[in-house]
Amino acid sequence: MNQKKKSVPRSNPPQKIEIRLSGSGGQGLILAGLILAEAAAIYDNKNAVQTQSYGPEARGGASKSEVIISDSEILFPKTTRLDYLLALNQESCDKYYHDLKDKGLLLVDADAVEHLPPVKSISLPLVRSAREKMGRVMTTNIISLGALVGISGVVSRKSLEKAVLNRVPKGTEQLNLKALELGFQLAEEVKANLED
């Protein structure tokens, strides 16, 4: 017997999320972008692409790592309109906030970004938490990832943990998992303020 399959309309269109992680060279943003893309592509089975800036920017200017996560095929690997922007310094915030969508969200380091632009934004003590609670400023990138994912839900927490364990230097796994947990805690503290 030959039956025709009923076409089921999609309740939601395919989702594509564009993210930019920005700050100064040496803050680990390239690694953070790779971890986020791997969490999406390898562990959440989505399409993902990651690009980054190198050259003189990687030595102290406004460096960036971009990640696109999509349910469908990604035809262009660069971000065009951001859903999320992480800015770990004022220069990056000033340079990139114009690329946010109307309903995009800006996450900034509370101590480094004093002048917020007129967009929806959240200030978090990212570097201070890394220094005071983790004892290592180099964990700022992982704390930031935890906060970003905790707020946005762009990848699952379990997938992000797996990607962190896969990418961080051997011997730092537990330190980085604690940093990730701290980022998720920071996200929980501010989630109530995101209600429209």
Q: What is the pLDDT of residue 2?
A: 43
Can you give the pLDDT at residue 63? 81
The reply to whether 194 falls in a domain is no
The predicted structure's pLDDT at residue 12:
56
Residue 113 within a domain = yes
Beta bridge partners of 20: 66, 85
Is-contact 17 36, C-beta < 8 A? no
The tally of domains found in the chain comes to 1
Q: Is residue 188 part of a domain?
A: no
CATH number at residue 91: 3.40.920.10
Q: Give the residue numbers spanning the domain of 39.
A: 16-125+156-172
- In this prediction, residue 75 carries a pLDDT of 85
pLDDT, position 14? 60
Q: Is residue 181 part of a domain?
A: no
**Residue 106 scores a pLDDT above 60:** yes
Residue 182: what pLDDT? 97
Residue 151 lies inside a defined structural domain of this protein: no
Residue 7 lies in a domain: no
pLDDT for the residue 96: 94
**Residue 91 CA to its chain's centroid (Å):** 18
What is the reported pLDDT for 25?
Answer: 85
- Per residue in 1-41, pLDDT (tens digit) is 444 444 444 445 568 999 999 998 889 999 999 999 999 99
Q: What is the pTM of this model?
A: 0.88
Q: Quote the CA–CA distance of 38 and 164 in Å, as a whole number.
A: 9
Q: Establish if 143 belongs to a structural domain.
A: no
From residue 105, alpha-carbon distances to 3, 14, 119, 125, 176 in Å are 47, 20, 7, 17, 25
pLDDT for 191 equals 79
Per-residue pLDDT at 192? 66
More confident residue, 7 or 106: 106
Cβ distance 142 to 176 under 8 Å? yes
Residue 142 domain flag: no
Q: pLDDT digit string (tens) for 119-168?
A: 999 999 999 999 999 999 999 999 999 999 999 999 999 999 999 999 99
From CA 86, how far away is CA 23, in angstroms rounded?
Answer: 8
Residues 60, 185, 146, 75: is their CA dihedral positive or negative? negative
Q: What is the pLDDT of residue 77?
A: 82
